[in-house]
Structures are given as C-alpha cells and as structure tokens.
Structure 1
Amino acid sequence: MVLPERERRTFWIDGDRLRTDPVPGAELVVDGSWLLPGLVDVHTHPGTESRDLPFSDEVLRRQLTDHRDAGVLLVRTPGSAARIPAWVDQDPALPRVRSAGRWLATPGRFFPGFGRDVSEADLVRAAVEEARSSSGWCKVIGDWKHGEPAVPLEILTAVVRAVHAIGGRVAVHCQTAEGSRNAVLAGADSLEHGMHLDPDLIDRMAAQGTAFVPTLSVFGAGADRRRAGEPSAARDAWLAGWAGMLPNVRAAHEAGVTVLAGTDSLPCGTVSTEVAWLIRAGLPAQAALGAASWAARSWLGLPGLADGAPADLVAYDTDPTLDPTALAHPSRVILRGRVVA
C-alpha cells in the first residue's frame, strides 16, 4: 500500500529510479508493506556534536548514516559551522542533502564564531554568497536573546529580495515576536522555530508561501527544565512563547501553511519524534507524516513514489498513519535503488 494515496501499487527499481513497468530479472525485496517516500528532516545540523568541537567530516558521515538507518533519506541543513563538503553528494550510501551554507549571524545574534559572523551592512552580500555556494538556500539568524532587537526588517527584506533574484531561498531563525514578525513581513521562505509568532500573521504566511518549521521536539524536550529554572524575564518569555507554539502550529496547518518536520536536535534520525509532536499539536496523522515525507520532499523539489522518481523509499509492516509509533521502525530502507537497511 502506497502513501499518501493509500493505493495498492507495484514498483520495480531500475538503477536508482522507480518504474511502474516490470524490469527483467528483478528481485523481490518488499511485499505487502506500507510504502512511503523516504523520510525527510528539514532542520538538522549534522557535522557537529557541540559548540566546543569543530565541524568534522567523520561526525557528518556518522550522523547522516544515523538519519539514513532511521529511514530519513533527505535532509535539509539550514546552516552549519562549515559548508557541506562535495563528497556527501557523491556518496550513494548517504541521504540526499539540501544545505544552506554557513549560519549568517550579525553581531550579538549567535554563538560567536560558530557560524559566519557578518555585519548588518554585509548581510545581503553574504546571503547571496552562501546561497550560491550551497543548495540554493541561506540561513539568517534573525534574532537571538529575549529583549534584544532582531535583524531590522528593511535589511531582512533586502536579503530575501537579493537571494530570490538569483533563484535562492531564505530560512530565518526566529524565537522572538519581533524576529518572527520580521521574517514573515520580509517574505522569508521558511520560519525556523517561529516562537512568539503573532497568529495574525499566519494568513499572510499561507498567502506568500512561507513554510513553518517549528522544531517542537527540541523545545518540548527542554520545557520542564525551563519551568524548573529560576524565575526571570527570559525564562517567563520562553515559556510564554512555548505555550503558543502548539496552537500556532495547528492554526497554521488549518490556514494552509506548509508545516514541516525538523528536529534541530541530537541524536540524528529522530524525525518520528517530531511527527508525534505535530500530531500532539493537532495535525491529522496523515498531514504530520507528510510533513516528514511526501510534503517535505515536494517542498524541496523531489517527487514522491512515481514512475521515474528517485528510488528512495521506506517500508513499514503496519500503517504509520494509524500507528505513528511505527514510523521509528522501518522494515526496509531503500536509498538510490539500494537496500541499505
């Protein structure tokens, strides 16, 4: 059974492509399972394990392999400590990667030296450079600490216009009301986190095609620790922002915003946890699953399960839309036409 269509279909694999016509000499590898296009994590940062350690090719390979073994066959890295090296795309055993180059951080708005530190005056030029040197994306740290100003709207708007002019796309980190507002008004292609998002901006996001990547699992994992912390303005602001995130995710989905699954956390390969959070926020199970599979692949420019599509798919013994916990336990993983797990 193929999702999302819920149709009984048969595919053959010819090289690294799916075919609907029989391929001579084919070997049966999956029978009677639920088939999904390869899973997607649209917000993950493989290659680093902490801010104290440098970007590492060894860590990058291991973490991408963790994604792959969990059925995540396409990842988007919205910012890294270093540009993703070319060998990743040349390795058939690793997931497909869509990168955004290095994080772009203006003074005081990120961990010093962890991304690419640029002045506000140089931000437009740097954004175009990162988009051109990556998979067409760039990532701007649009805000940082509570009570401190976000990247000004006019600068962020200029970034979006310049990157769009070369055919690129802009992701914006935003965790304050001003940062989320500016990202939407500037026409960013995706809000990363979107904490403190004004619900009145959701219809505008839908109209202009701004996607919402709320990374609920990483926030949810830290919520109890925040509540137990010493009272402060920053703590109270964070908790207020978290309280609004699940209702905003549901409202965004209902308004037609593209809501996508991204983990922003370690270990890699846990996108099933993010899907569970999207369901908890109020998304129907099929929509939450699509946010980590067919909808995410389409948003990143790849088809689902169709004749001529890349042979990237995962198989399950049970219907993951009826039992979302099954998503963490694929029975078969096929990447570029090869059985890898």
Structure 2
Amino acid sequence: MLCIRGVVLPEREERVFWIDGEVLRAGDPPGGLAGRDAETIVDGGWLLPGLVDVHTHPGALEPGVPFDEELLRRQLGEHRDAGVLAVRTPGTAQRMPAWVEKDPELPRVTSAGRWLATPGRFFPGAGRDVSEADLVQAAVEEAAASSGWCKVIGDWAADEPAVPLALLTSVVEAVHAAGGKVAVHCQTAEGTRNAVLAGADSLEHGMHLDPALLDRMAAQGTAFVPTLSAFGANVDEMRAREPGVRRDLWLAGWDTMLGNVRAAHEAGVTVLAGTDSFPCGTVAGELTWLQRAGLSAEAALGAASWTARSWLGLPGLVDGAPADLVAYDTDPTLDPAALDHPSRIVLRGRVVR
C-alpha cells in the first residue's frame, strides 16, 4: 500500500493520502502509516495533481508531416516524465488512437480530433480540409469522435479574411447542442474577435485580442491559451525579417500579448498554459512567460496544474480522485526551477519515478 504525505497546492495544507488501486484516498491508510503493508513513497515536500499542457500536438513534429504513432507514444512519455500528467491536444493530423486512453503509462489525453480548416486557412492536407458549407457538420463529427472537443482554424494569413462570424457562431451552437466544446485558432484581430463573439470555449493564441472583449470572455467562460513561449521563441527571427504586411502585423500582435494576458487574468478570464512547441514536457517554460505577463507565481502554476485540471473536468488532490500526483522537494511557487526536478511522479497509482 503506497502512502504519501506532503503540502498540497494550492491549499498549502499538509495532508496524507494512500493509493487504492488507481484511486487516491485521503487520510491514514488502514493500519496507519506504520502498518505492515504501508510503504511511504513521499514523506514531505510539495504536492501537485500533476502539470497540464492544454495546447500540445504530439504525434508529428510539424503540420503536414505524416502522423506517427510511435512518435506520439514517445512525446506523451516526454510529457509524463516532466510531471505533465494531463494534456489537451487541440487538433492533430488524425484522430487520437484508441490505445492512448487505455495505456496506463501515458498521461490523460483530452483530444479535439483533427484540425478543421476551410480553404486557404491552414497547411494543405495537415488536418481535415472542409468547405465552409460543411464546417458545421464536420465540427460536430470531430467533437463526437474525440473527447468532446473540436478545433477550428478560425483564421490564417494575417492579411486575409477569417472564418465569417455567422458561420463560426453556427459551429459553436451546433457543437454545444451536441454536448461538445470548440477551440478556435486565432491570430488576427478579426479571427480573435469572431471567436469571442461566437462563444468559443477557448482562444488558441489570441493574438490581436481586443481588451474590450475581456469582460465578455469572462462572462461566457471563454478561456485564453496564449502559447506565449511558442511566440516568444520566434520574436528575434521575426524582427530580423524585411518589413512587410504579415511580418509587421505579427510583431504588432506580439507587442500587445503580454499586456493582454495580464488584463485577461485581471478581468477574470481563465488563462491556461499551453506550449504548441517541441520538445514535449516543457510547459514549465510557459509559466515563466505567464509570470512575465504579470500573473503571480501561484496563478501561473495553477494555469498549468489545478486550474487547468478543473477546466478539463479533472479533480485535484482529493479523496476519490485519480491517483495522479507530482511531488517536489521545494515549493515551486517560490522556486520555479523545482518544476524541472520532480522528486516523485505517480500516474494512475503507479510510480513513474
């Protein structure tokens, strides 16, 4: 019988748990911590219900490359070994294989089926190419075939039109009516505005977000996944390019992103951590960017842990929850470097390390 004792975040309370199969039980185990069958695998330190990356695309190194199931397994393993015990994949080249959900050694995956791209709005053939006339039905199909999510490419080139608001609204209404949720890729002012006004469940990237829309986002529950680390890695390259419409619009959008993330958080919008980059298992780097944007260390950590889990419908460290947890020797809100060095990882009741 495996036992754990430590300070639970964000509550900052010392608690004791024991593992009952794949389930976490609160309190002393039968017979107590010193019982004959009890083995304490964590004795002190700081406990999280695992990290979460809500925007990651394992299975291919870039859009347009054939989906590789062995690469998918390796990249999910990279997440797990970094303490990322839950991920959301908002769009992939093919639907998530059934074996992913059944593999006890891999993180819990919330998938959104294949990227849905209307003509001219994505890498050709990288996802599911559909006409605007077929987009609503395709969105319902992908949500039904995945974890209840679908992902729409809401815009693409910075100087070209986004998916029309009326069409995107119809998509959201149809998917919601079927019990699903809609993530929208948006990097232009029009695309981001349309995603918010359509009632999307999440804005992926949200470049050029109009701060006047933040109260509406908060009221309707639209989350903001800015993927700052993916953009930040490209800033120097973009600045070095010759001036042009697309380069200049990209930089103008980036220059407002950190302020928009801070304003969104202050307005009550759920801001979440996603990487949209490789290697996998690097969501801790996104927390650094969220703190640069103005989130507190605890809010940034929540964006990649308990807040993200709650948003995905996953419980934290409570009695009866899945036995998923990560332990650290020091408080990761005070020592962010600790996130790169978990002292213990437990997934589905099994000790990973």
TM-score (norm 2): 0.96
Which residue of the partner structure matches residue 220 of structure 1? 232
Counterpart of 1:203? 215
The whole-number CA distance in structure 2 between the counterparts of 1:51 and 1:114 is 5
Whole-Å Cα distance in 1 between the matches of residues 52 and 157 of structure 2?
A: 29
Which range moves more in the overlay, 183-192 or 21-30?
21-30
The separation in 1 between residues aligned to 2:277 and 2:38, in whole angstroms, is 39
1:52 and 1:254 map into 2 onto residues whose CA distance is 38
Distance 1:101 1:198 in 2: 28
RMSD: 0.8
Structure 1: segments with no counterpart, 5+ residues: none
- Give the superposition deviation at 1:52: 5.0
Matched, 1:31 2:37: no
Q: Who is 2:18 aligned against?
A: 12
- The AA in structure 2 aligned to 1:125 is Q
Aligned-partner residue type, residue 150 of structure 2:
C
**How many Å separate the matches in 2 of 1:232 and 1:252?**
29
Deviation digits for residues 167-200 of structure 1, max 9, x if unmatched? 1000000000000000000000000000000110
Map of 2:189 onto structure 1: 177
1:53, distance to aligned residue in structure 2 (A)? 2.7
Alpha-carbon distance in structure 2 between the residues aligned to 1:234 and 1:59: 33
The aligned residue for residue 98 of structure 2 is 86
Displacement, 1:328?
1.7
Give the match for residue 33 of structure 2.
none
Q: Which runs of 4+ in 1 moved over 2 A?
A: 21-24, 50-53
Equivalent in the alignment of 1:53: 65
Q: Find the counterpart in structure 2 of residue 264 from structure 1.
A: 276
Task: Quote the offset at 1:99 in angstroms.
Answer: 0.2
The question of 1:320 aligning with 2:326 is answered no
Residue of structure 2 equivalent to 1:141: 153
Once the 2 structures are TM-superposed, how far is the Cα of residue 26 of structure 1 from its aligned partner?
2.5
Q: How far does the alpha carbon of each residue in 1:208-235 deviate from its partner, in whole angstroms, 9 at most, with x for none?
A: 1000000000000000110111111111
Q: Taking structure 1 as the reference length, what is the TM-score of the superposition? A: 0.99
What percentage of residue pairs aligned between the two structures are identical? 78
Q: Which residue of 2 aligns with 1:96?
A: 108
**Residue 129 of structure 2: which of 107, 110, 117 is its match?**
117
Q: Give yes or no for the alignment of 1:234 onto 2:272.
A: no
Q: Which moved more, 1:16-25 or 1:181-190?
A: 16-25
SS of 1:234's partner is helix
Q: CA deviation at 1:326?
A: 1.4
SS at match of 2:109: strand
Give the C-alpha shift of residue 327 in structure 1: 1.2
- Residue 23 of structure 1, CA deviation: 3.0
Q: Does 1:289 align with 2:295?
A: no
Determine helix, strand or coil for the equivalent of 1:235. helix
Indicate the residue corresponding to 1:2 in structure 2: 8
Counterpart CA distance in 1 for 2:180 and 2:318 is 27
CA distance in 2, matches of 1:231, 1:154: 34
Match of 1:69 in 2: 81
Q: Which residue of 1 aligns with 2:264?
A: 252
- Once residues 123 and 50 of structure 1 are traced to their aligned partners in structure 2, the CA distance between those partners, rounded to angstroms, is 23
CA distance in structure 2 between the partners assigned to 1:61 and 1:286 by the alignment: 31
| Alignment pair present for 1:163 and 2:163 | no
What's the secondary structure of 1:124's corresponding residue? helix
Please point out which of 291, 315, 319 is paired with 1:307.
319
CA distance in 1 between counterparts of 2:229 and 2:203 reads: 16
C-alpha contact (below 8 Å) 1:101/1:130 kept by paired residues? yes
Match of 1:277 among 264, 270, 289: 289
Tell me, yes or no, if structure 1 residue 194 matches structure 2 residue 174.
Answer: no
Contact 2:17 2:29 in 1 (8 A): no
Partner Cα distance (1:329, 1:246) in 2: 27
* C-alpha distance in 1 between matches for 2:156 and 2:346: 39
Work out the number of aligned pairs and report it: 341
**Cα drift, residue 43 of structure 1:** 0.1
Query: What secondary structure sits across from 2:332 in the alignment?
Result: coil
Q: Is the contact between residue 14 and residue 23 of structure 1 (CA under 8 Å) also seen in structure 2? A: no
Q: After TM superposition, give the deviation of residue 21 of structure 1 in Å.
A: 3.3
* Alpha-carbon distance in 2 for matches of 1:263, 1:228: 23
1:17, 1:311 within 8 Å by CA — same for their partners in 2? yes
One-letter code of the match for 1:336? R
Separation in 2, partners of 1:304, 1:134: 23
Q: Cα deviations across residues 286-330 of structure 1 (Å, max 9, x unaligned)? A: 000000000000000011000000111101011000111211221
Q: Which amino acid aligns with 1:276?
A: T
Preserved contact between residue 15 and residue 27 of structure 2 (Cα < 8 Å): no
- Secondary structure of 2:43's aligned partner: coil
Question: Partners of 2:114 and 2:82 in 1: how far apart?
Answer: 26
Q: Deviations over 1:223-265 (max 9, x none)?
A: 0110111111111110000011000000000000000000000
